[in-house]
Amino acid sequence: MRVLITRPEREATALATALGQRGHVAVIAPLFRLDILHPPGDFAAALASCQAVLLTSANGARALAEASDQRSRPILAVGDTTAATAEGLGFTAVTSAAGDSDSLAELVRQRLDPKVGPLVHVSGVDIAGEIAPDGFEVRRFALYEARQADALPDSARAALQARALDAATFFSPRASTLFARLVTAAGLADACRAVSAVAISPAAAEPLSALPFKATVAAPRPTRQAVLDEIDRLPLPSVKGPEIMSDAPSFPPSPPPVQVRRGLGFTGAFVTGLIAAAIVLVGAVGSLPYWPEEARMLWRGPAMVPPAPTPAPVLDTAALEAAKKELNARLDDLDKRVRAAATTAAQADRPPTPDTTIGPAIAELRGRVEALESKPAAAPATPGTEVDLAPLKSEIATLRAALQSLDGSVEKIKAAASASGTADQKAVAAARASAVIGIAARLSAALESGLPFTADLALLAPLIQSDGKGGDAKLTELSASLQPLAQSGVVSRAALAAEFPAVAKAALADDLADDSFGERLLGKLKGLVSLRRVGADVQGNSVEAKLARAEAALDGGDLAKAVALVKSLPAPAARATPVWLARAEAHLGAQRTIDQIAAHAVSLLGAAR
């Protein structure tokens, strides 16, 4: 499915990675911009005297890391995502409440004593409520501010206008309220009818009732994992994406193709009529000698009564040569203009160009001019020679009339082709964007299967060059970054999860194998027999605890969290992980690039509307 993410950019990127690992395509549209604030003067003293720090968001962990170099202070985090972020930033004593603010308050009452000292709550400027466990002194410091957007982000606007979304995620009541206001102001409320809204809590879902969503779902627990599970439970879209190649493997559903309207249209009908008129004209002029005398009289007009015999006129050779040069010049000019009109029509992707049909008409006219040129050569003009100029003058007049008719027609072709070119180019651009979305889905499927994707990546090459502007630079860059991995593919997420237990066993053995004989012996035993705790609920900052949480994250589909935990292992334990880490980071990097290709295609689809 295509899922809209409204979180700030850093959190949106992490969520997009998790969605990509589950086979979904993310459209990132941050409604807030994060600004880290300078800590007040008394923050350092308060941090030094507190018994623990409370964190209610991952942004709070980042702001705390910016404000202080201390990493040993006990941290109580509201959920697993916040705890993982704090651990990734180097904090060594992190405990997760795995819930909401009430769960965090309960964890404080269970683990801490109000007599030991105050607590420090690191938060943003705007919060839903204070954390105030009974009997505890809590000092709150606002170290970051999430500044809201003034208008709906372009990516969200384009995706809604193109009806290219299946679901949208909301992680706070403030985000839901702002989204409802911006969508209504943009006049896109009706575009939400085909979209399912997934909120992190009932409070975040309540403001969404102002929009006509297809369905509004609140996660049973206020965690990112619960939101991801609710997205997976949504029914898949029933419309299939376009088949890029008939003999290629299938891929997940993608947006319906933009129908490019084919047919004659106004310009085609006009060109067809013009061609028919030219053919009739040429046929009439060419068959004139074979007409009955009466018909030829009607064509040429009533015969003039010849005047009384007068001395035969002398053939004006200079005037005849001037007329022939004029006709030749006009034929050359007309030929060039017809070819220019044909080129314009071809660039607008229209049916048959006039050059292939009007060209013979011009050639016929040029032949008749050459016939005129041959007459003086057969009958040289000398003084006193009698020459009948009436047929020559009549035929020259006929040719000039035909030239004027074709001249005006070419101008009309150029005007009509120019008027229709813009609409056709938009339709072609929309079809191109839909094809790129389909290819991104194929690449994502190949990534999850661990297969090479050279053939799928090659499908982008003609689409990169078909943007009409000399090549799509961003699509070229993204395609080039995937090229080194296409031949062999990358290790699938399932394969990485299957390999992890052996890596974890080796890392735990290396951690225990220090210089003492007893520890070396224990390390060797650990390498032979896997005796370690597993599960997401293993607390602490030991190597065993981090490996347990990393394995649980892999089982839950969160490869990014597992990689962050493995990278935080101390040096002795990290000796067993470089190969696995390199393969996992290659998978994550390729998925991020594919997600960027899909997001870029959605933006192109919106721009083509």
Condensed to tens digits (0 to 9), the pLDDT of residues 41-85 reads 899 999 989 999 999 888 889 899 989 988 888 999 988 888 888
Does residue 601 sit within a domain?
A: no
Listed residue (608, 267, 581, 557) closest to 415, CA to CA: 267
Does residue 283 sit within a domain?
A: yes
Taking a C-beta distance cutoff of 8 angstroms, is the pair 412, 345 a contact? no
Does residue 453 sit within a domain?
A: no
Do residues 172 and 295 share a domain? Answer: no
Does residue 475 sit within a domain?
A: no
Do residues 565 and 516 share a domain? Answer: yes
Please say which residue of 238, 259, 292 terminates a domain: 238
Q: What is the SS3 assignment for 424-451? A: HHHHHHHHHHHHHHHHHHHHHHHHHHCC
Listed residue (307, 301, 302, 405) closest to 361, CA to CA: 405
Do residues 80 and 199 share a domain? Answer: no
pLDDT at 492 over 50: yes
pLDDT at 571: 76
Average pLDDT, the chain: 75
In this predicted model, which residue has the larger pLDDT, 243 or 360?
A: 360
Q: What is the identity of the amino acid at 118?
A: P
In this predicted model, which residue has the larger pLDDT, 498 or 400?
A: 498
Do residues 348 and 395 share a domain? Answer: yes
Do residues 398 and 281 share a domain? Answer: yes
Does residue 74 sit within a domain?
A: yes
Does residue 14 sit within a domain?
A: yes
pLDDT in tens, 74-122: 999 988 888 888 998 889 899 998 888 888 899 999 989 888 889 999 9
Does residue 485 sit within a domain?
A: no
Please say which residue of 120, 147, 174 terminates a domain: 147
Q: Enter the pTM of the model.
A: 0.39
pLDDT at 528 over 50: no
The CATH number that applies at residue 57 is: 3.40.50.10090
In this predicted model, which residue has the larger pLDDT, 401 or 314?
A: 401
Please say which residue of 424, 452, 484 terminates a domain: 424
pLDDT at 168 over 90: yes
Do residues 158 and 284 share a domain? Answer: no
Angstrom distance (rounded) from CA 253 to CA 536: 33
Do residues 130 and 18 share a domain? Answer: no
Average pLDDT over residues 160-181: 91
Any idea what DSSP says for residue 260?
P
Do residues 195 and 340 share a domain? Answer: no
Angstrom distance (rounded) from CA 609 to CA 602: 11
Structural domain containing residue 125 = 36-147
Q: Which residue has the tokens 């981090």?
A: 546
| CA angle at 56 for the pair 54 and 60, rounded to the nearest 5° | 85
pLDDT at 421: 60
pLDDT at 250: 40
Structural domains in the chain (count) = 4
Does residue 541 sit within a domain?
A: yes
Q: Which residue has the tokens 């015999």?
A: 309
Average pLDDT over residues 227-255: 60
Do residues 142 and 177 share a domain? Answer: no
Do residues 122 and 153 share a domain? Answer: no
Do residues 137 and 44 share a domain? Answer: yes
pLDDT band at 248 (very low <50, low <70, confident <90, very high): very low
pLDDT at 199 over 80: yes
pLDDT at 197 over 90: yes
Do residues 328 and 357 share a domain? Answer: yes
pLDDT band at 608 (very low <50, low <70, confident <90, very high): low
pLDDT at 4 over 50: yes
